[in-house]
């Protein structure tokens, strides 16, 4: 009986973690990356006030600027040096980038001038159906329904864009301070 209670507790805890997107590969598609200092060494994540840093998935579509703010704080950038963000199950058709921002006014939303890092040439393209789509900042590209990973610094081929359970190496290179 004692073993049964332990197993039940383990299953419940695993379900809770999966529902929160804390178990990789469980609970939905995810984008993953590292926090990278600026190439010239001017900006370092070690000097950032991590209590103010948040992540946002920001897209630009034909109809405007759809934004998905992640309310999760980045607890200790210098210890973990990585992030995992669960993607929404559906979104507006658009090209999205991951941003780190300094929430200067503590409203848990990305406001103008608060972005301090982004995913560079890597985009997440959301498509409501399979086919050739035109995305702002990307151009016309063939995508499958749902989320598609795309690196604009590489040629389009059978692996770019691509679909997967996770979209790794969406690294955030710091380009401003957060005090």
pLDDT digits (tens, 9 = 90+) for 101-154: 898 888 888 888 888 999 999 999 999 999 999 998 899 999 999 999 999 999
**What are 59's strand-pairing partners?**
96
Q: Is 10 helix (H, G, I), strand (E, B) or coil?
A: helix
How high is the pLDDT of residue 24?
44
Determine the Cα–Cα distance for residues 84 and 24; give it in Å rounded to an integer: 8
Q: 3-60: per-residue pLDDT in tens?
A: 555 544 544 444 444 444 444 445 689 999 999 999 999 999 889 888 888 888 888 7
**What is the DSSP secondary-structure string of 70-128?**
EEEE---HHHH-EEEEEPPSS--SEEEEEEEEE-TTSSSS--TT-EEEE-TTEEEEEES
pLDDT value at residue 50: 83
Q: What was the pLDDT predicted at 2?
A: 53
How confident is the model over 72-89, as a mean pLDDT?
Answer: 75
pLDDT at 108: 81
Q: What is the spatial distance between Cα 145 and Cα 155, in angstroms, rounded to a whole number?
A: 21
Q: Is the pLDDT of residue 161 over 50?
A: yes
pLDDT for the residue numbered 52: 87
Q: Which of 167, 143, 174, 14 is nearest to 86 (CA)?
A: 167
For residue 37, give both structure tokens.
């200092």
Residue 102 to residue 116: CA distance in whole angstroms: 7
Average pLDDT over residues 51-70: 71
Residue 167 and residue 151 in contact, taking contact as beta carbons nearer than 8 Å? no
Decide: helix, strand or coil at residue 52: helix
Nearest-CA neighbor of 88 among 126, 116, 118, 60?
A: 126
Neighbours of 61 (CB within 10 A): 16
Exposure of 71 by Cβ count < 10 A (0-12 exposed, 13-18 middle, 19+ buried)?
A: exposed
Residue 155: per-residue pLDDT? 94
């Amino acid at each position: 009986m004692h073993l049964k209670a332990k197993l039940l507790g383990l299953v419940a805890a695993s379900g809770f973690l999966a529902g929160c997107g804390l178990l990789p590969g469980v609970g939905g598609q995810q984008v993953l990356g590292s926090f990278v200092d600026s190439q010239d060494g001017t900006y370092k994540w070690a000097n950032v006030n991590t209590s103010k840093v948040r992540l946002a998935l920001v897209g630009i579509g034909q109809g405007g600027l759809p934004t998905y703010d992640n309310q999760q704080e980045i607890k200790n950038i210098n210890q973990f040096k990585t992030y995992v963000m669960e993607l929404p199950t559906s979104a507006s058709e658009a090209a999205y980038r991951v941003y780190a921002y300094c929430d200067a006014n503590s409203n848990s939303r990305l406001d103008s001038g608060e972005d301090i890092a982004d995913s560079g040439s890597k985009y997440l393209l959301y498509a409501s159906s399979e086919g050739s789509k035109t995305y702002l900042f990307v151009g016309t590209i063939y995508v499958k329904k749902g989320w598609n990973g795309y690196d604009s610094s590489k040629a389009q081929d059978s692996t770019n864009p691509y679909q997967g359970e996770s979209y790794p190496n969406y690294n955030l290179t710091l380009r401003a301070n957060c005090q």
